[in-house]
Each structure stands twice: as structure tokens, then as C-alpha cells.
Amino acid sequence: MSRHAAGHSQPQAPRQAIYAEDRSGLSRSVLIQGILAPVTVVGSIIASTLPRLGGLVILTIAAGLWAVVMTSSLIFTWPIGIRLDAEGIRIGGLRAWERRQRSGRWPPRKPFHVGAQGRAVFTCPGPAVRSLYLLTDRAEVKTLATQLAKFRKRSAGTRMPLGFFPVTPWSGVRAVLVISNHPAFTSSDPPEFRTNWGQFGRLRGVTSPTWQVPTRHPDQLRAALKQCPWAPPVHDHLPPQADFQFYTP
């Protein structure tokens, strides 16, 4: 089923997982800061109203900006997970997806907007996997982020690759799995995404031959991939002069 196919998905029977990781991008630093940030803002606002502490207004503004960044990072990262089984790999909001499948509350009433794609589930069957990279070098993770930024710039900031979950410098994420795939054979559930307003206009999701998902357990994930009959060799580093694509016309 194509990612952009119309219609609703039917409940799927659970597969026997070779590897399962929930909250795969949720580092301790993001969790702590995401919880503390709103508390700090409230405390700063209260303190700035006191006569002797009126000069804390600038600190309150700074704390507010920090709270927005960290809370947004926590919300985006929270649902993301990984599943490996004998048929392929799934990434995205798997835990909630599985729970809502069991309770009959799936599919959602409205498609997710592009900014909330971490709540969707992206499926790549084994034959659609072209190559795998399990990166623990921050410089190489940054290389992909730079290439994504260049793609966004070429598209005037109005296209967002689906299935690519970026990581930020302050996320504390130390490893990512990069999946080079054949988009014609991948799918997402739900299959459609709403556009939402980005910095430069309407932001829409586009089919991507490059997926990325963070992991907290790279060694366990690497060992699990070796058990998957469909998985190609897992590379620890990007090839020289690698140029990844983020959009398939």
C-alpha cells in the first residue's frame, strides 16, 4: 500500500517482534528538562512580580523560550519507537498505535498533521530496505541534518520528509538508525497527513527514500538486525561523499 493511498487501514494482528524499543529517542536530559522547563517558567514569573526581583523579566523570557524548545522536543520525541520482525521494520508511534488497535480506536478521526508524524507508524518491508546505517558518531548524524537542511532550503522550507525523525543537538541522542529504502514499497498508517503552517508557509509531507529513527540501545539493535533474515549488513559509518535524498517525485 502506498503511503498516499486513500482509505483507512484495518486492524492488524500483532507480529512476533525480534526487537522492540519504545521511547527510542527519549534521553534522560530531554525528559528532565521537558518536565522542569514549565516549572521554571512559572517560578520565574512569580519571582518577577516581587518588588525586589523585578529585574528577572529577562530571565523569565529566556526561561519561556527554553520551555517552548524543550517541551516541544519532549512532545515530538515521546511516541517514537522501533519494531523489528521477520517481515521488516516499523518506526514511529508504535506503542500508542498497538494500544489503539486493540481497543478499536484506530484509525484516528483526522489525519495527523506533518509536525506530528511521530505519532504515525511507518512500515518498511524487508525487500524495500536498500541499506542500513547505525550511526553513533555525532559528526555523521550532523552530516545528515545538514543535508536535510539543504533539502528544506531548496524546497523553500515547505516540504517535510516523512519517516525521517530529526534529532537536535540538545536532545542527548547518541545513536540513530538510517534506513535507505524503496519508497514505492513502504507505507504509513495513517496513509495521509494534513499540512500545517511552517516558518515559510504551508508545510506538507513528502515521500522520502531516507528514514531516520533515534535509538537508546545501538548495540542491542545491531545484534537484533543480524537476526533478521531480510536485513542487509549494517554499516557503522556513512559512505564517503554520501548524498542522501529526502524526496521522491
C-alpha cell at 14: 500483532
Q: Round to whole Å and give the CA distance between 70 and 61.
A: 14
The predicted model scores a pTM of 0.83
Q: Round to whole Å and give the CA distance between 86 and 228.
A: 6
Q: What residue segments make up the domains of the chain, in order of their start?
A: 17-25+79-235, 28-75
**Sheet hosting strand 121-125, strand order edge to edge:** 17-21, 81-85, 88-92, 121-125, 187-189
Q: Round to whole Å and give the CA distance between 116 and 135.
A: 24
28-48 vs 57-77: helix axis angle to the nearest 10?
150
The residue written with cell numbers 545484534 in the block is 223
For each of the chain's 249 residues, which pLDDT tens digit applies?
334 443 444 555 567 899 999 999 887 776 666 666 666 666 666 656 655 554 566 666 666 666 666 677 777 888 999 999 999 999 999 999 999 988 989 989 888 999 899 999 999 999 999 999 999 999 999 999 999 999 988 888 789 999 999 887 767 788 999 999 999 999 999 999 998 876 666 888 999 999 999 999 999 999 999 999 999 999 999 999 889 999 987
CA angle (212 as vertex; 211, 216 as ends), nearest 5: 150
The residue written with cell numbers 523489528 in the block is 84
Terminal-to-terminal C-alpha distance of the chain: 17
The residue written with cell numbers 517535510 in the block is 160
